[in-house]
Every structure is written in structure tokens, then in C-alpha cells.
């Protein structure tokens, strides 16, 4: 690809900041989907290495790599057959080690997935467990003579599974699984399982990774009469893993994937005294961002954040718009879900389980204004944002593919064959490149986006850079302020930490967001303590006005418009 600016800045190496994750921007990419350097039709580690300059250029601090381990790939690699081997088509362990080193040299961290809850039925542990019940692996899984235990535990993959139990004809017992019937759950009542999994943690941490996303963490323990989610023993196990990481690999992070209501998900932070994960994905807020865009009111976002309890000082939310799964609607009310299916998934093929299997840009009708607004929200609300590969160039999806493959198609680099992803015969690709009318590879690719100064890619890079200049977006307190207009969401981010005199970053930023499709005015009530503060646009630097003596500031916003406004008091000016 010609003319691509490499991240030509001097190689910075990793920032020495134990709280790096609080101001980081994450980027999820599938090794399979990113870049194929061998002509196999599937992406590989060398491909990711070859694109690190691009990722650095964009302003990403940490890559999240979903499973690349040995697997029959019946669940995108979340069905692991060997925790310490990589899929040969992705390369070797040495390639992976090189990837970590090359990323670190560019100041980019890497976290990977730790699929704790279950393995593939192809895993040798399961093979041994089913064939030798009295052997060392006999109790590695959850076996039962009946399929009636733990009645009332919900089924997660409602599209494909009818029960959480499956009969194994070899052991002649039922085994427990919260996901696909080829993914038996590990038995965390067995201390040998915990020991074996700690060794898996050590293996990858020794390889230099910066942390783990803990996949499907709420489901480790089940008990009769319990709903099988967030069991107190599950929390004990997470604390045990955290204590081990803190002791043996201080500074590495754990990020919880707990698709749970706000009050339950916060429990995965633990407490300052007994920590669990440094980060948790904020599942409940994500669908509300989409809901608010169609409802054109701020209330859904305000309400879900009001329902979110405070988190320990050492914690940080992970926020996101899309990922490799369906846009889950498990955390919304039935009425909201019905509305969202109507707005965002009119074709039944767009739905999967309790959610929507589409990418960001098609969801938002390819509206640049809406995509910019929803990014402005996810980049300014509390938490560290995680982007999904391809969204930065406006990639489309393919709902004619099965399940969540709809949004796992190859990254589009150029307008050429296979969008520059691979030199293979197009029919050999692991999934076809998206070539729909609105989202065809000729128009939607990195090279074209690079060549257009007005592209979303350049816009996003600029906004990420502005965010990076102001750590308040990562570490600041969050307070909703009255805007006098139900369509305008206004909030303050305030950095209350002690700062050095050289620190010129904004201490307080007012974020105003017009959720409606028509222009709106608002009179934001900041409080008299801000009277006289200068109101400066964070992105462009222009001073708009000063806060009135009554503590109010008027704002006019175009449709889907937004501003990040630094409030500069005399104290800030020094
Ligand atoms: C959560 C992962 O994100 C998803 O892709 C997977 O299917 C389930 N865990 C089950 O492994």
C-alpha cells in the first residue's frame, strides 16, 4: 500500500505508569481477520506485526487479541483445545513473542483472552475426563447422572442450545455447559482445575503480555438453588487469580467480561482491600448509547449511569460500541429491546441470540454525524474505550454469513483483490471480504481513508489525540449537569488529582451532546463556582465565551452535534 505514513515517531517503548489502563485506548482485532502474510487466506501474527505502525499512528495504547490458541474453531476460538499452543495458521509461539516485543517497542500493550469457564470438547482434559472418570481429570468438568440439576439457570445461546446439560455417550453422564454443547464447563470446585489454570496465566504472562480479558467470568460456579451467575465462590476464585497476578506479575491487568446489570458487574472490581479485576466492561451502558440516539433523549444514558455504583480507586470501566459478538440486548428492558430490534434489526437475519449481529456503521445507517456523536460519547463518558477493528474506516458487515461471522470479516486495507488483506484466491479466504453496495472494498479501505483528509479515520485519530492530551477523560470524576433540554446530554469530567505546575491539560471539561436529529440550544447550569470561567473548545482551541455570573453557559448544537469544552478558571491559568 503506497503513501501510508508509518508511525515514524521515535520508538517510545512502554510508558512506565502503573495506571496506564485508566487513560488507554484499546483496540480489539482478530488475528484471523487482520492481515495474511502467507497467502493462506487467514490472517496471522506476522500480519498483525506488519500493521503495528498503522495501529500506533491511529493512537491506540493497547491491543486486545481474542483467542488464537489451538482450537477446532467452532466458537471463533473460544473453544480451546490447548491453552498453551497457538493455531498453526496464525504462526508460532515465537511469532507471538515477536508480536509482543514489536508492539511494546511502539508503546503499545497487548492483552489476550483467558477463557476460564470452559474448554473445547476436543481438549485432552475433557477427553481424559470422559474416558477415565477415576483418573486425574475425572473431576475437571461438571458431570451428573441427571440433566435436572441447577434447574432455572438461564440458557445463554438461546438460538442453538436447549439445555445447559449434554449427554456424553462415552462416560454415560451429562456434562454442564453454559455456552455451546461442545464447550464443557470446567469444574472450579476442583482445586486441581484452579492450579492448572494458574499455570496457563503464568505461561502467557511469562511471554510478556500486559493482561487478560477474563472471558465469561460470571459462570465459574454453580450450586443448587442458585442462578449460576456471580456466585460468591466465583468471586473468591477471581480474587485468588488477582492475588497471584499481583504477586508474580505486578502491573498486569485483568479485564472482566461480565455481561451483568450495573450493581452486579461492579462486584468484579472487588474492593481496594480485596481487589478482583482492574477493569470491567460496562455492558449496561453500551446499548443505551444506541437507544438514546433513536430515542433522541439523554435520559437513558443518565439513568444507566445513575444506576452504576461507584468503583474502587484502582478500577476503571471498559467502554465499547461494538466487538466480535452480537450487540447484546440482555441488559435492557423488554420494551427497550423491542424498540431496538425495530430500529436496528428490521431483518430477522440481523438478530442473534438476545442481540444484533451488525457492525457499527450499518447500524447507524452509515451516518457520519451519528458515528461521530456516538464516538464522542464513548470517548468522554467514564471508562477506557475499546474500539473494534474496521470501525475506524467505516467497514460494513455481511448478515448472510452465519452467526457472529457477520462482523468478523477481513480488514480492508486497499481497493485491490481481497481488499489487500490476502493474496490468496478469493474463494480461499476464511470469510469473504464485504463487498456490498454501500460498503464495498473499493470505497471502504484504509488506503482510501488515508488519502482523504476529511475521512472518519483522520477525524478519529485527531479526536483520540485530543483525548490523550487530557487525562481527565480517563481519570476525572463524572457529574451530570442540567442542560434545560431533554435532548442534550451535558456532563462534567473533573480531574481532582494534585498536578504539577507544568501540567497544562484541562482540569475540568464540559461535554455537551445533542442526541437529536435537529439543531438544539441548551443553557447548561454549571454552578456559580464556575462563574467567569473561560469556555474553550478542546479540539480546536477556540474560546467560545465565559460562564455567566449565574453559573450558566449557553450552547448551540447542530443535529447530532457535540462539544468538549475545557472550563478554565483563574486558578487553572495560574
Ligand atoms: C464470550 C465471547 O466473547 C464469545 O465470543 C463466546 O462465544 C462466548 N464467550 C463463549 O465462549
- Mean pLDDT across 390-396: 98
Helix (H) or strand (E) holding 165, with range, is: strand 165-168
Beta carbons of 111 and 210 less than 8 angstroms apart: yes
pTM: 0.97
Confidence tier at 13 by pLDDT (50, 70, 90): confident
pLDDT (tens digit, 9 = 90+) per residue, 260-271?
999 999 999 999
Helix (H) or strand (E) holding 124, with range, is: helix 124-131
What is the three-class DSSP state of 570? helix
Confidence tier at 507 by pLDDT (50, 70, 90): very high
- Mean pLDDT across 354-377: 98
Ligand 1 atom closest to 115 (CA): 11
Ligand 1: residue whose CA is nearest its atom 5: 325
Give the pLDDT score at 61.
Answer: 98
Confidence tier at 208 by pLDDT (50, 70, 90): very high
Active site residue 416: no
Closest CA to 329 of 353, 297, 301, 311: 353
Give the pLDDT score at 3.
Answer: 43
pLDDT (tens digit, 9 = 90+) per residue, 411-458?
999 999 999 999 999 999 999 999 999 999 999 999 999 999 999 999
pLDDT (tens digit, 9 = 90+) per residue, 306-317?
999 999 999 999
Ligand 1 atom closest to 78 (CA): 11
Q: CB burial class (10 A; 0-12, 13-18, 19+) of residue 151?
A: exposed
Distance from C-alpha of 283 to C-alpha of 490, rounded to nearest angstrom: 21
Distance from C-alpha of 335 to C-alpha of 357, rounded to nearest angstrom: 19
Ligand 1: residue whose CA is nearest its atom 9: 216
Q: Ligand 1 in contact with 216 (CB < 6 A)? A: yes
Closest CA to 304 of 343, 353, 267, 265: 265
Give the pLDDT score at 232.
Answer: 98
What is the three-class DSSP state of 265? helix
Q: Ligand 1 in contact with 326 (CB < 6 A)? A: no
Ligand 1 mean position, distance from CA 66 (Å): 10
Q: Which of 113, 215, 326, 495 is catalytic?
A: 215
Give the pLDDT score at 573.
Answer: 60
Q: Ligand 1 in contact with 267 (CB < 6 A)? A: no
Give the pLDDT score at 574.
Answer: 53
pLDDT (tens digit, 9 = 90+) per residue, 220-266?
999 999 999 999 999 999 999 999 999 999 999 999 999 999 999 99
Give the pLDDT score at 15.
Answer: 83
Give the pLDDT score at 12.
Answer: 67
pLDDT (tens digit, 9 = 90+) per residue, 510-524?
999 999 999 999 999
Q: Is the pLDDT of residue 297 over 60?
A: yes
Q: Which of 44, 95, 229, 257 is catalytic?
A: 257
Amino acid at each position: 500500500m503506497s503513501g501510508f505514513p508509518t508511525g515514524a515517531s521515535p520508538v517510545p517503548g512502554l510508558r512506565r505508569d502503573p495506571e496506564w489502563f485508566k487513560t488507554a485506548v484499546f483496540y480489539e482485532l482478530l488475528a484471523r481477520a487482520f492481515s495474511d502474510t502467507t497467502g493462506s487466506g487467514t490472517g496471522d501474527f506476522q500480519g498483525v506485526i506488519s500493521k503495528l505502525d498503522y495501529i500506533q499512528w491511529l493512537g491506540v495504547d493497547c491491543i486486545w487479541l481474542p483467542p488464537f490458541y489451538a482450537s477446532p474453531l467452532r466458537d471463533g476460538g473460544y473453544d480451546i483445545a490447548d491453552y498453551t499452543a497457538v493455531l498453526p495458521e496464525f504462526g508460532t509461539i515465537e511469532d507471538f513473542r515477536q508480536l509482543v516485543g514489536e508492539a511494546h517497542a511502539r508503546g503499545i500493550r497487548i492483552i489476550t483472552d483467558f477463557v476460564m469457564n470452559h474448554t473445547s470438547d476436543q481438549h485432552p482434559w475433557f477427553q481424559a475426563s470422559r474416558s477415565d472418570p477415576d483418573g486425574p481429570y475425572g473431576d475437571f468438568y461438571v458431570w451428573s447422572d441427571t440433566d435436572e440439576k441447577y434447574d432455572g439457570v438461564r440458557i445463554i445461546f438461546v438460538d442453538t442450545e436447549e439445555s445447559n446439560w449434554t449427554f456424553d455417550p462415552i462416560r454415560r453422564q451429562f456434562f454442564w455447559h453454559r455456552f455451546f454443547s461442545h464447550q464443557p464447563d470446567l469444574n472450579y470446585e476442583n482445586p486441581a482445575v484452579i492450579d492448572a489454570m494458574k499455570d496457563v496465566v503464568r505461561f502467557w504472562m511469562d511471554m510478556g503480555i500486559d493482561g487478560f480479558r477474563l472471558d465469561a467470568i460470571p459462570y465459574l460456579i454453580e450450586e443448587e438453588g442458585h442462578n449460576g451467575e456471580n456466585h460468591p465462590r466465583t468471586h473468591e476464585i477471581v480474587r485468588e487469580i488477582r492475588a497471584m497476578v499481583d504477586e508474580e506479575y505486578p502491573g498486569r491487568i485483568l479485564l472482566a467480561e461480565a455481561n451483568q446489570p450495573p450493581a452486579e458487574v461492579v462486584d468484579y472490581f472487588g474492593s481496594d482491600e480485596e481487589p478482583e479485576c482492574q477493569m470491567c466492561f460496562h455492558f449496561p451502558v453500551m446499548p443505551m448509547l444506541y437507544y438514546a440516539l433513536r430515542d433522541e433523549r439523554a435520559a437513558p444514558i443518565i439513568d444507566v449511569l445513575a444506576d452504576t455504583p461507584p468503583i474502587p480507586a484502582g478500577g476503571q470501566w471498559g467502554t465499547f460500541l461494538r466487538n466480535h459478538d452480537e450487540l447484546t440486548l440482555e441488559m435492557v428492558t423488554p420494551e427497550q429491546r423491542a424498540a431496538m430490534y425495530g430500529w436496528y434489526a428490521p431483518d430477522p437475519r440481523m438478530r442473534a441470540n438476545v442481540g444484533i449481529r451488525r457492525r457499527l456503521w450499518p447500524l447507524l445507517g452509515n451516518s457520519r454525524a451519528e458515528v461521530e456523536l456516538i464516538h464522542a460519547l464513548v470517548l468522554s463518558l467514564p471508562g477506557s474505550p475499546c474500539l473494534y477493528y474496521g470501525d475506524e474506516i467505516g467497514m460494513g458487515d455481511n448478515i448472510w454469513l452465519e452467526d457472529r461471522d457477520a462482523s468478523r470479516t477481513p480488514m480492508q486495507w486497499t481497493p485491490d483483490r481481497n481488499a489487500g488483506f490476502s493474496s490468496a484466491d478469493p474463494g480461499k479466504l476464511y470469510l469473504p471480504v464485504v463487498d456490498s453496495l454501500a460498503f464495498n472494498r473499493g470505497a471502504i479501505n484504509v488506503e482510501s481513508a488515508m488519502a482523504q483528509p476529511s475521512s472518519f479515520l483522520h477525524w478519529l485519530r485527531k479526536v483520540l489525540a485530543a483525548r490523550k492530551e487530557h487525562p481527565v477523560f480517563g481519570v476525572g470524576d463524572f457529574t451530570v449537569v442540567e442542560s434545560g433540554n431533554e435532548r442534550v446530554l451535558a456532563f462534567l469530567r473533573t480531574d481532582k488529582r494534585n498536578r504539577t505546575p507544568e501540567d497544562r491539560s484541562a482540569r475540568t471539561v464540559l461535554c455537551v451532546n445533542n442526541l437529536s436529529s435537529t439543531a438544539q440550544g441548551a443553557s447548561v447550569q454549571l454552578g456559580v463556582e464556575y462563574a467567569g470561567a473561560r469556555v474553550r473548545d478542546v479540539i480546536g482551541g477556540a474560546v467560545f465565551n465565559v460562564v455567566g455570573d449565574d453559573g450558566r453557559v449557553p450552547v448551540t448544537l447542530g443535529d447530532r452535534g457535540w462539544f468538549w469544552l475545557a472550563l478554565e478558571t483563574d486558578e487553572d491559568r495560574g
